[in-house]
A and B are shown apart, each in its own frame.
Chain A
């Protein structure tokens, strides 16, 4: 497989950030009340991810190793601010729906995780492809969770009525507990049909909470602990 196409496959299927790597749980749980919100959040995150991967990859030889995390945070925070202002100006209804979770893209584990694990070691073009792949994978997972919750909890899909009006939707699915339940069920189904993941088995989500240093440092600390 072409190595650029391979990045897309990797992001969407093999290392799906939400369902396999268990990264970016906060927005996944929070905004998946509607399928449209899932798409909006997914695409906003994807835009930030592609640009941050590009910038960090371009600067990978300039940023000194010791201060790389603060440098990445500044890059990501600036991009998020730009995105936030654009959404506020052009998509006010999405801005209302996502609220505080737009600025919180800064601390989304996926973005710093990819910067650390991929973009700072690879060429700009490959990093952009990685961002697109990861972004699509994240968007699909968010939309799937949003669709299930919207259908069960509100009887609609993308705003269109699906369930006949005689059936009462189960309101709890659009409330906070529904987020945990639906994600648990999606992962249980994946386990049942044999899609395994080391991260999920250990519930080492974001390597014990070290979001920013996810993949790369996780492995390191794992090796150290093993010794």
Chain B
């Protein structure tokens, strides 16, 4: 149990997927314009990454590894993620329209979010079993949500400020991300 909690904390804080691993930068910079959108995307990402990690782990352990088709993992994982996102979207539309309304438009965006594929591949690389993969996926996704929601709230403050002209737009957002990244480096001192 302790090791599972450690996996979540490592994924969410110490090895933060955005600020330390640089995965999912596209949506991190693009969607963080609005707070509400960021929170919804975060919710959708938690949902998809957790399921995708579980499915990828099962596929790898029971299909790819026994058949010796380790090298096919990139192709298989990306197709599974793309299909999974479609299925999740259809499933939510049918069963819970409320959730679908909140997360629906963000689901297709997630297929190309490199964090999803990145987590699936890292889990295999680290030799995680099924349970560990699910927890690692969940922790990573929580880290993504934390980072994007924090950046969105910083950006809502930046909007009111008088920023030097060359730094307006992308540079000031990147500098904010840099400062967040410095803050998150502090978590690497956590020891258990």
Hey, which bits of chain A sit against chain B, CB under 8 A? 22, 25-27, 29-30, 69-70, 73-74, 77-78, 80-81, 84-85, 100, 103-104, 106-109, 112, 172, 175-181, 183-185, 187-189, 191-192, 200-212
Contacts and interface: CB of A to CB of B under 8 A. Distances in A.
Nearest to A23: B26
Given A107-B117, A210-B109, A177 B122 contact: no
A39 B23 CA distance: 20
A103 B121 contact: yes
23 contacts: A25-B26, A26-B23, A70-B82, A84-B74, A103-B74, A104-B114, A104-B117, A107-B117, A108-B114, A176-B20, A176-B22, A177-B181, A180-B181, A185-B171, A187-B171, A187-B174, A203-B29, A203-B30, A205-B30, A206-B27, A208-B27, A209-B41, A211-B112
A81 B71 contact: yes
Contacts, number: 151
Closest 6 CB pairs of A and B: A209-B27, A180-B178, A184-B174, A192-B166, A30-B22, A211-B112
A180 B82 contact: no
A208 B22 contact: no
B179 A177 contact: yes
A82 B159 CA distance: 45
Nearest to B172: A184
A180 B174 contact: yes
A200 B178 CA distance: 17
Given A181-B175, A207-B30, A172 B182 contact: yes
Interface of B: 19-27, 29-31, 33, 41, 71-75, 78-79, 82, 108-109, 111-114, 117-118, 121-122, 125, 165-175, 177-179, 181-182, 185
